[in-house]
């Protein structure tokens, strides 16, 4: 049975994260929104506090389902609960914190013990998107060629979150373009390696506190052991599916946390909108039926319902991961629902608060700008719906494009 009740331990994690978000992140939201590409030094203290909490066990959920037959609400559940709170504080600042890169999740998901020990505490960014490759990750053109005890990488990656500040990169590349998905592998590249260069920083609509970079690889040589997973290429259709699936496994682990980011931003917008509307004499009363309240109040109720639906889907996907149940469909469902919800809720809150919502005197307009990226990165809305359709209909990627 799925158990979505928040345990006392996870509630404590949420409460502590909210304190950090309110007092150590939110006060700097506007500052780093205006000072794009400036490293948020204040967040170093937040990272230290979070690391101390993890070492004390506050963000873990006990034994995994592999160790016990009991129902588990563990590390994945703790992650989505904590991330919701931190994104409530400021999504851009969270994404700019060291050791929170998507590459870290990839290393933990498919890295060897030696790789996890060496790079587990690094600040690892993920390099996937290319000038000619967006949602179709199988169309990657960056190449990796074996040369003795090294891999040689050549290509260009764009829209790399934390690409400038990260000290480690997880780079997707192909061993043989003609084999399509079967030849896609990911490689660990340490920043500073000759041939690896940050060539451009993007100016963005939202999450300005997080750097987004373009990176080129020109005869970039890395140790042979820096490949994530096996270097072998599968020879049959089933093997090809498994080969690419190992790389894609990262997304099943990270899409629920990304959905949690949308929950945090959406909750921030709802909280601020309710506060501003209350100041103007519109005080939501959730004990009254929608038919007996004003149009503005009724709209807030509808937005709250959308938020709650996204929250439950996210918790379900995290619970399944904790209990070692395949959650690819559920991970995409929660990411699609939460991404769309975050966009709608934040923008609608701006509209409901009118001039206050649109003004930089309040953070509502920033929440709306920040929310858009959540529906795009980690797989767009359309890609998530395609994945869900394939799972429900039992179709392969070649059968349903």
Catalytic residues: 378
Alpha-helical runs (H) found in 176-294: 237-279
Structure tokens at 399: 């059968």
Instruction: Label the pairing between strands 124-127 and 227-228.
Output: unpaired
Q: State whether residue 351 is helix, strand or coil.
A: helix
Measured CA to CA, the distance from residue 255 to residue 290 in angstroms comes to: 33
d(CA 18, CA 197): 37
Residue-wise burial string across 124-161, b where 16 or more C-beta atoms lie within 10 A, e elsewhere: bbbbbbbeebeeebbebebbbeeeeeebbbbbbbbbbb
Per DSSP, the residues of 94-145 read: HHTSTT--HHHHHHHHH--HHHHHHHTTS-EEEE--BTTBSS-GGG---EEE
Helices 364-371 and 328-352 meet at what angle, rounded to 10? Answer: 150
Tokens 């967006």 belong to: 134
How many Å apart are CA 255 and CA 252, to the nearest integer? Answer: 6
Compute the distance between CA of residue 9 and CA of residue 67 in angstroms, rounded to an integer: 20
In this structure, is the dihedral angle defined by the CA atoms of residues 361, 363, 364 and 369, taken in order, positive or negative?
Answer: positive
How distant is the alpha carbon of residue 174 from its chain centre? 24
- Reduce the DSSP state of residue 30 to 3 states and report it: helix
Are 95 and 207 a contacting pair, CB within 8 Å? yes
Identify whether the C-beta of residue 125 lies closer than 8 Å to the C-beta of residue 161.
yes
SS3 for 33? helix
């Amino acid at each position: 049975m799925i158990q979505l009740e928040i345990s006392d331990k996870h509630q404590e994690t949420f409460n502590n994260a909210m304190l950090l978000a309110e007092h150590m992140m939110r006060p700097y939201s506007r500052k780093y929104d205006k000072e794009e590409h400036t490293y948020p030094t204040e967040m170093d203290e937040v990272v230290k506090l979070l690391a101390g909490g993890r070492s004390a066990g506050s963000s873990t959920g006990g034994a995994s389902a592999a160790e016990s037959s009991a129902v588990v609400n563990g590390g994945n559940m703790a992650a989505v609960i904590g991330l919701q709170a931190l994104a409530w504080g400021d999504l851009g600042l969270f994404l700019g914190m060291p050791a929170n890169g998507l590459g870290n999740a990839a290393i933990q998901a498919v890295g060897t013990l030696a790789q996890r020990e060496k790079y587990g505490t690094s600040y690892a960014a993920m390099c996937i998107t290319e000038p000619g490759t967006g949602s179709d990750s199988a169309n990657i053109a960056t190449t990796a060629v074996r040369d003795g005890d090294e891999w040689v990488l050549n290509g260009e990656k764009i829209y790399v979150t934390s690409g400038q500040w990260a000290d480690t990169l997880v780079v997707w590349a192909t061993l043989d373009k003609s084999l399509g998905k079967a030849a896609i592998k990911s490689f660990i590249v340490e920043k500073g390696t000759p041939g690896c260069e940050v060539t451009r920083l993007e100016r963005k609509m939202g999450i300005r506190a997080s750097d987004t970079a373009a990176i080129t690889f020109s005869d970039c040589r890395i140790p042979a052991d820096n490949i994530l997973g096996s270097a072998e290429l599968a020879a049959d259709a089933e093997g090809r599916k498994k080969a690419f699936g190992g790389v894609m496994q990262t997304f099943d682990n990270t899409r629920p946390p990304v959905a949690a980011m949308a929950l945090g931003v959406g909750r921030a917008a709802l909280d601020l909108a309710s506060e501003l509307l209350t100041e103007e004499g519109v005080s939501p009363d959730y004990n009254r039926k929608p038919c007996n309240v004003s149009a503005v109040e009724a709209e807030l109720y509808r937005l709250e319902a959308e938020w709650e639906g996204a929250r439950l889907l996210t918790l379900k996907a995290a619970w399944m991961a904790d209990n070692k149940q395949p959650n690819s469909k559920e991970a995409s469902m929660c990411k699609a629902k939460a991404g769309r919800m975050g966009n709608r809720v934040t923008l609608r809150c701006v509209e409901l608060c009118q001039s206050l919502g649109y003004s930089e005197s309040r953070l509502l307009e920033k929440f709306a700008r920040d929310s858009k990226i959540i529906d795009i990165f980690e797989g767009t809305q359309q890609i998530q719906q395609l994945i869900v359709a394939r799972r429900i209909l039992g179709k392969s990627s070649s059968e349903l494009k």
